Structure 1
Amino acid sequence: MSTVAPANKLSGLARTLIQEKLLSEVEANAIQAQANAASSLFITRLIQSKKLSALVIAETSAKAFGFPYFNLDAFNPDYLPPKKIDEKLMLSNRVLALQVRNNVLYVAISDPTNLHALDSVQFQMGMSLSPVVVEDDKLGRWIDKLIEASDTSMKSLDLGNDDYDLGGDDIEQEDVAQTQEVDDAPVVKFLNKMLLDAINMGASDLHFEPYEKFYRVRYRVDGILREITQPPLAIKDKLASRIKVISSMDISEKRIPQDGRMKLVLSKTRTIDFRVSTLPLINGEKIVMRILDP
């Protein structure tokens, strides 16, 4: 006996393809049933069935729902925003953040009827969305590539160029030994990347926040705090120590708030000053770094 799902369980994309006479109702129901049984998306099973090419699906659905079609082969990864969509959301809903322009986030989707995915992305990112329809196979490769790169960088924390002079206003000679103790290269690179990204995004301050089970970094941009990344929890103590030393704070004092200053020398003609404050919390030290002259 057939296990084909009823027609009223078809996804919006399936119904569109039927209306465009690219799939029969029987074919669509069979693919939908397979997707339901595997807890996967209709479009994923449709691509696997090879009844239609990813390009035909993308162009048809883009036209039907009034979204622009975009060829991911032409996309420059330099435009990828610093803050990424949650990995689980990317994988389960096949959606990718492409670029931020004028406070609008352009997102790539392969199924424009998946409104839940768009709502979830908008809620997480806190920005208006402008969707573009892309081929599902190309989207999948981009998502896999992005997650793989994220996993690699988070394991090593080798996230950027550390050829910058990062130091306090007045680090005394006796502090040199302390600086060397926390001058762990991956920590230095991670901190440099966070500072440079914040400057490039026009952030006014950075927040390094420890919690019981995770650690996160947030930037304040246009008055709104936005989560940027969640590095490994194990980094929190070394990162706090590094920031305190270069901000001329007492590295051994973790029970009371402290204030300090530091600077980031980008070139011979450009130096960025920061005001830094620490606040002891139950799970570690929260650190706020305010950019004084971006």
Structure 2
Amino acid sequence: MTLLTNDIQDRLAKLLVEEGLVQESKIELAIKEAGLNNQSLMSYMIEHKLLDNEILVHATSHVSGIPYVNLENTTIPQETLDLISVDIAERNMAVPIAEVQGRIAVAMLDATNIQAVDYLSSLIQRPLKVFMASQNSIKHVLDQYKTDLSGVDALAENVDAQKQAEAESKRQVQTIVQDSPISKALNTILEYAVRAKASDIHIEPLEKSLKIRCRIDGVLREIM
């Protein structure tokens, strides 16, 4: 699993300075402070808002080789979300998105945080395939947790009067989820992207279909 080694951290710092995105003095201070606080450079920069989140995520993805995925228009199946509780997802800014080649694909704001990756892998008890995602992408998926939880709360208020009907409804929903192609589609898309060594993955829902684009060898290609 590729994570932020000292070499990659140095390349990230160099890239940000060369592109004029952050002053060299600020990068040097950030590296020093991050080390003292046992943080990755990216985590420190996010916390202290030294650079626009989207730019920082793309830059880190570029130098680390961790692929970037855009989830701002993507709906994640409930059975996938259930792999990580909402409080842990919010605390780590990390959300499960699919299963890829026997591993659970997790999108993270800071996929270079090896402690967080190890913790999530231990929690799920499965090996992980990590992806970089922007703050907006992570929040979009976190909002799906909240939508599901609000639905559960509404049902709970009427549980005594509707207990039998609710049980039947739950069985029906479970059957629908298991038969739904959404989870399989996400798995297939991400598996293809991993095999093709795509650096960016963009999933855009249209009225009657999905537009899937992957950046392969520097070229953004439509694959679906």
For normalisation by structure 2, the TM-score amounts to 0.55
Question: Structure 2 matches for 1:3-152, cutoff 5 A?
Answer: 15-22=10-17, 23-24=22-23, 26-28=25-27, 29=29, 43=42, 46-47=45-46, 51-78=50-77, 81=80, 83-101=82-100, 103-143=102-142, 145-152=143-150
User: Which consecutive residues of structure 1, in runs of 5 or more, have no partner in the other structure?
Assistant: 1-9, 159-181, 203-294
Cα distance in structure 2, aligned partners of 1:51 and 1:132: 22
Instruction: Give the secondary structure class of the aligned counterpart of 2:68.
Output: coil
Cα distance in structure 2, aligned partners of 1:157 and 1:42: 44
Matched, 1:193 2:188: no
Instruction: Give the secondary structure class of the aligned counterpart of 1:73.
Output: coil
Q: Is the contact between residue 100 and residue 129 of structure 2 (CA under 8 Å) also seen in structure 1?
A: no
Runs of 4+ in structure 1 over 6 Å off: 10-14
Q: Is the contact between residue 80 and residue 99 of structure 1 (CA under 8 Å) also seen in structure 2?
A: no
Cα distance in structure 1, aligned partners of 2:81 and 2:172: 12
Deviates more, 1:50-59 or 1:129-138: 50-59
Q: Give the structure with the larger strand fraction.
A: 1
Cα distance in structure 1, aligned partners of 2:174 and 2:32: 43
1:157 maps to what in 2?
A: 155
Structure with higher RCO (Cα < 8 A, 6+ apart)? 2
Instruction: Give the secondary structure class of the aligned counterpart of 2:54.
Output: helix
Cα distance in structure 2, aligned partners of 1:113 and 1:96: 15
Q: Give the structure with the larger helix fraction.
A: 2
Cα distance in structure 2, aligned partners of 1:101 and 1:11: 24
Corresponding residue pairs, total: 168
Identify if the C-alpha distance between structure 1 residues 192 and 128 changes in structure 2 by more than 3 Å, giving closer, same or farther. Answer: farther
The one-letter code of the counterpart of 2:121 is Q
% identical aligned pairs: 17
Report how far residue 112 of structure 1 moved.
2.0
Cα distance in structure 2, aligned partners of 1:109 and 1:56: 15
User: Which consecutive residues of structure 2, in runs of 5 or more, have no partner in the other structure?
Assistant: 180-224
Larger Rg: 1
